[in-house]
A = this chain, B = another copy of it.
């Protein structure tokens, strides 16, 4: 069991520069679409609301979606203390986390040049349990403010029992890479360029709809 105590006092450190490249963050395919730049990585992490966490259980891979928030040099995950994925990370299991934004469908004149526009980050490492209640509370505040700006001050904070029931994990942004595809389809060439088919991008846009009040909210 590795229970590294780590505070979130470095939460406001600015991101800067480029991460070191390791064997597993070396860009293999279409390296021109990849980056180890912290500003690019952070921009993707800060736009997404869900990540996918992979870990190994009983010798086999498992991947689970979960909410997260980035603060400074860490992603923060949280959930019930009985959560199996969080428990694995709390116990020091190696994990890989992916964050993906889908931006558009890329249609070309040829089937082969169809693609998707996306931005994604893949991270590797081990998590650490956030144990001090004040640190946990700061992470939960950041999670709430990610859902809706100012929400941490527009709701009752978790009390001691609720904090004790919540496992908070910090995952370092230390071994990671970003990858993105942007823009129009690759040009179809030769006779393909003259084919009478439309080519271009259909953007995918995620928006927040009109809020739906809970049944017990008085207007």
Contacts and interface: CB of A to CB of B under 8 A. Distances in A.
A5 interface: no
Given A50-B100, A80-B29, A217-B200, A114 B192 contact: no
B200 A100 contact: no
B202 A209 contact: yes
Interface residues of A, number: 86
Copies in the complex: 2
A141 B83 CA distance: 40
Interface of A: 24, 28-29, 49-50, 52-58, 60-65, 67, 80, 82-84, 94-98, 100, 102, 104-105, 107-112, 114, 116, 118, 120, 122, 124, 140-141, 143-144, 147-148, 151-152, 154-158, 162, 166, 184-185, 187, 192-193, 195, 197-217
Given A201-B211, A213-B199, A217-B200, A96 B155 contact: no
A161 to B, nearest CB: 9
